Amino acid sequence: MITLKNINKLYDLGEVKVNALKGIDLTINRGDYVSIMGPSGSGKSTLMHIMGILDTPTSGQYLLEDYDITSLPDRELARIRNKHFGFIFQSFNLFPELSALENVMLPLGYAGVTYSKRKDRAKELLAEVGLGHRMQHLPTMMSGGEQQRVAVARALANDPDLIIADEPTGNLPSDKGHEIMDILEKLNNKGVTVVMVTHNPEQGMRAKRTINIKDGLLHSDELNSKGGV
């Protein structure tokens, strides 16, 4: 599904240059459930941002379904991102002035879906994540776990091929974190590819495959015998 070839990322901060990624070669297969782990500053979030086309590499090649998207213009990359990827962030990233329903409808609007279909799809997704009774609530009226479930529903709005989750349980108590992990596993069991950045070893081992990043280098890439259990 995704092939990264010799990916390098250099941040030029004036007098300081940070080489965040150093020649990463990585393949994500359709149906994978991958956790990306590593210490703070290891490059794991940079890798996730490049994988999700939220950032571009300094050098290297990005293949999506064997099609080279490395040098595509920003507008085309945004179209691909909206159509194929869904994102879940640690800080939820919901619009505070919009209801749960309106937040989930947003990516459908960017995709040109009609209002009635956007509304029906958002209602369906919120019901699937157990928030059918909270559709008109603003994020400030919801718990952290509920807000993250809204974010999950929003990530699924355009029926993405790949879910990219950046520390999706980082701001949640452990019981609510387990709920989000359960949702991700169910999505993967339905065929959705999931890539998750996490600092939590227990959660990382719930994935089918764990990639460890250290000092901008791919340190290990292993299958988990208990992944998905």
Please report, for the chain, the start and end positions of each structural domain, with discontinuous segments joined by +: 31-45+75-223
Predicted pLDDT at 229: 45
Q: pLDDT, tens digit, for every residue of 19-77?
A: 999 999 999 999 999 999 998 889 998 999 999 999 999 999 999 999 999 999 999 99
| 8: nearest Cα among 74, 56, 78 | 56
Q: pLDDT, tens digit, for every residue of 75-122?
A: 999 989 988 899 998 888 899 999 999 999 999 988 889 999 999 999
Burial category of 179 from C-beta neighbours within 10 Å (exposed 0-12, middle 13-18, buried 19 and up): middle
The Cβ of residue 186 has, within 10 Å, a number of other Cβ atoms equal to: 11
| 196: nearest Cα among 33, 29, 26, 28 | 33
Predicted pLDDT at 226: 59
CB 177 within 8 A of CB 194: no
DSSP labels for 112-142? T--HHHHHHHHHHHHHHTT-TT-TT--GGGS
Rounded-to-integer distance, Cα 37 and Cα 205, Å: 10
| 193: nearest Cα among 21, 25, 67, 35 | 35
Instruction: Examine the pLDDT at 202 and tell me if it is beyond 90.
Output: no
Please provide the average confidence, as pLDDT, over all residues in the chain: 91
Predicted pLDDT at 20: 94
Rounded-to-integer distance, Cα 160 and Cα 82, Å: 8
Q: pLDDT, tens digit, for every residue of 148-179?
A: 999 999 999 988 999 999 988 888 888 888 88
- 31-45+75-223: which CATH number, 3.10.110.10, 3.30.9.10, 3.40.50.300, 3.40.50.460? 3.40.50.300
Backbone angles phi, psi at 33, to 5 degrees: -130, 105
Q: pLDDT, tens digit, for every residue of 171-191?
A: 888 888 888 899 999 999 999
Look up residue 29 and give its two tokens: 């297969």
Residues in the chain: 229
Rounded-to-integer distance, Cα 162 and Cα 136, Å: 28
Instruction: Examine the pLDDT at 228 and tell me if it is beyond 80.
Output: no
Residue type, 146: E
Predicted pLDDT at 213: 94
Location of structure tokens 């945004």: 78
